[in-house]
Structure 1
Amino acid sequence: MKYFSALIFAGLIAFSYAVPIYNIGDHDIVSREEFDSEAFAAREWQDVERRTGHFASTNSGQRTAANHFLHDAHRLGKLAEAAKPSHQVKTTHQNNQFHLDRQQPTNAHGYHKVAVQLNRGSPSTIGQVVLHKDHKVGANRIAKAMRHSIKRGKEVHVSSRKTVANIHHNQQRSAAKKARQQAKMKAGMANAAKGNYKKGRK
């Protein structure tokens, strides 16, 4: 009986040691999995950052020079060319300091990017706007958005679904106004042909 009790006692001691060891091993596996997952997420974020591109840190002189460059590109029609939807990345204007790119081809969602970048240095982006192929946006507005991006050092989205709806609404109003004016003119010409130059009088 004593021998049997000793065996049970020894077994309990062995089990008490085994449980913490098992738990430590299991905890270590979980921690490693979590670490690997976080490390993978960090690598993915870094990849996104590399693809997106950080903005260069610029001084007031560089920003002024970039705005002059943008003004020339706008005046020569190069900004409008870069803003056109396309499946090609293209440099449309360049001088000894900067270049203007259609930086990203039109993607599956219809968006593309236009950027002003430094010729040398990394990161090189100092101004960037995002456009949509279905948004009817003039070059003046794109230039204004790009100047804001250069000033703030942040990407600017030009137009939105609400803006597109407003554009469509304004177009409808303009068409209705034009139709009313044409109808009024036609009625006036018809009255003039009858000799009715004023309402109710000949």
Structure 2
Amino acid sequence: MNWKMKEVVLAVILSIACGVIYFGWSTIWIPISALVGPVGAGFMFGIWVIASPIVAYIIRKPGAAFIAEVAAAAVELIMGSHFGLSALLVGVFQGIGAEIAFAIFRYKRYNLFTLMLSGALAAIIGMVYNLLANGFGFYTLPVLVTTLGIHIISGIILGGWLAKVIVDALAKTGVLEQYELMKEKRKKDDIHGNISRM
């Protein structure tokens, strides 16, 4: 599927916006992690994967989730994230996880379940990178399982669910009328309207 210029532009804008949010969230993470520890601060994880479901939900094309997450992570890195290059590399892994959720359904299901699944899988695949590069391999098994569980729950809520809330709110303003999200919504409304008139 070819991307239209307006879809590329929107993906870039949203990825930059999410990257700025990621950078701010990383800054907030420092004092919170100092207070509750890195495991406790895991509840913040979901925001770092929100770019994927937001862009994929609107544009609905293969690669949208992955591209959005990597681009947002790159913006966070460029802005000077204290995570350094790790911010970008973990973004690649998280983007792969998020993309898998949409690929499972052959890019035909963009409901709340799929968006939440993208957040969960981003957490799981992101954990692979953390095990390889960020010292999570030194965690005891109970701590590792707890951390992963917190990341998954946060990915589901702050990644998937919150992404749907944000996009649905944007859709109501009319700014997304020319995108696949609204085109499919209009098709469904037409079908329901025709059925109700029968």
TM-score normalized by the length of structure 2: 0.27
In our comparison, the structure showing a higher alpha carbon Rg is: 1
TM-score normalized by the length of structure 1: 0.27
Structure with higher RCO (Cα < 8 A, 6+ apart): 2
Structure that is richer in strand per residue: 1
